[in-house]
Amino acid sequence: MSVLIGLLIAVGSLIGGFAAMGGHVAVLWQPWELVIILGTAIGTYIVANPMKTVADTGTAVMEAMRNATPTQAHYFEVLGILYALMRELRNKGRAEIEQHIETPHESTLFASYPSVLADPILTTFICDYFRLIIVGKAQAHEVEALLDEEIDSHLKDSLKPYFALGTVSEALPALGIVAAVLGVIKAMGAIDQSPALLGGFIGAALVGTFAGIFFSYAVIGPISLKIKATREKQARVYIVVKQTLLAFINGAAPQVALEYGRKVIAAAERPSIDEVEDKTISGGSQRTPANDRAQKEAA
């Protein structure tokens, strides 16, 4: 929503200011200049990037528009499933936890944390590292190096739309000049026409330069930065998992390990120690889908 509000303010200020200066707003509407600029930008974007990145760009833009970053409730669920798995491993051993990590979509533990289960990449990430833990041979520093490498790889993949759109943003002013040059060529072809007609052609050509700069610095550039901020916040969940698991591997009790994970949550979303205990340890330790339904019916 903030992206749409910002764009409306930018466009409104631009058009309103131009009209207030005495400019004719209709002159700015040059659809074929936009076709040249935006069509060329889209075509070169497809040429320069794999189709997976092109498709992910649409997803990334929608996430930026919706500000789809992890909420405090999502962090509660992440900490909750980590605590549940650590508790099962410590109290019941390897055999009990294997059934949960091998088939998480059939697990009663994972079923209590739907936002985690709805993210297949995060679910796989958690299950893979618990699988390493129950093998019992990996050293903490080895697991940490592997976690860092995988998180870094995941972040780089998720930021590909940001880098790709950044390149387009840098190219748009030049594409605007291309459109303007084509407009000037058209005007030169009508050099024998009336000054009024010739002036209209030149004005239309200059709109191309304006449009390229505007779309670069007021639309594509800001959206790409919003994508970067959104995807980096989404990756923070993996840092929470990393710090929690490393503390557990190094011998911390599940309750203490959660505190390591809680501390790396951004301050704006970070819950208090008491909230974590209430949501994930005291209340979350006995959570099941049946209990959740019973509590809702009682309420």
pLDDT (tens digit per residue) in 45-89: 999 999 999 999 999 999 999 999 999 999 999 999 999 999 988
Q: Is the pLDDT of residue 294 over 60?
A: no
CA–CA–CA angle 26, 31, 33 (5° rounding): 110
Give burial (CB, 10 Å; 0-12/13-18/19+) of 261.
Answer: buried
Domain locations along the chain: 31-294
Q: Identify the weakest region by mean pLDDT among 159-163, 165-169, 284-288.
A: 284-288
Q: What gap in Å lies between CA 216 and CA 173, rounded to an integer? A: 7
Q: What gap in Å lies between CA 281 and CA 284, rounded to an integer? A: 5
30 Ramachandran zone, left/alpha/beta (phi>0; psi -120 to 50): beta
Q: What gap in Å lies between CA 92 and CA 165, rounded to an integer? A: 49
CA–CA–CA angle 128, 133, 134 (5° rounding): 100
Q: Identify the weakest region by mean pLDDT among 123-132, 173-182, 275-284, 287-296.
A: 287-296
CA atoms within 13 A on the CB side of 6: 13
pLDDT tens digits, 86-128: 998 888 877 788 889 999 999 888 999 999 999 999 999 999 9
Contacts of 187 (CB under 8 A, 6+ apart): 198, 201, 202, 205
Q: Is the pLDDT of residue 212 over 90?
A: yes
Contacts of 83 (CB under 8 A, 6+ apart): 254, 255, 258, 280, 281, 284, 285
Q: Radius of gyration of the chain from Cα atoms?
A: 27
Q: What gap in Å lies between CA 175 and CA 262, rounded to an integer? A: 47
Q: What gap in Å lies between CA 134 and CA 141, rounded to an integer? A: 16
Structure tokens at 37: 């600029």
Closest CA to 274 of 290, 250, 258: 258
pLDDT tens digits, 172-194: 999 999 999 988 888 888 777 77
Q: Is the pLDDT of residue 216 over 90?
A: yes
Q: What gap in Å lies between CA 48 and CA 160, rounded to an integer? A: 12
Distances (CA, A) of 26 to 17, 107, 158: 14, 61, 40
How many residues would you count in the chain? 299
Predicted local confidence at residue 98, as pLDDT? 87
Closest CA to 121 of 225, 230, 234: 234
Residues 258 and 83 sit within 8 Å (Cβ to Cβ): yes
Structure tokens at 125: 């990430």
Residues 78 and 237 sit within 8 Å (Cβ to Cβ): yes
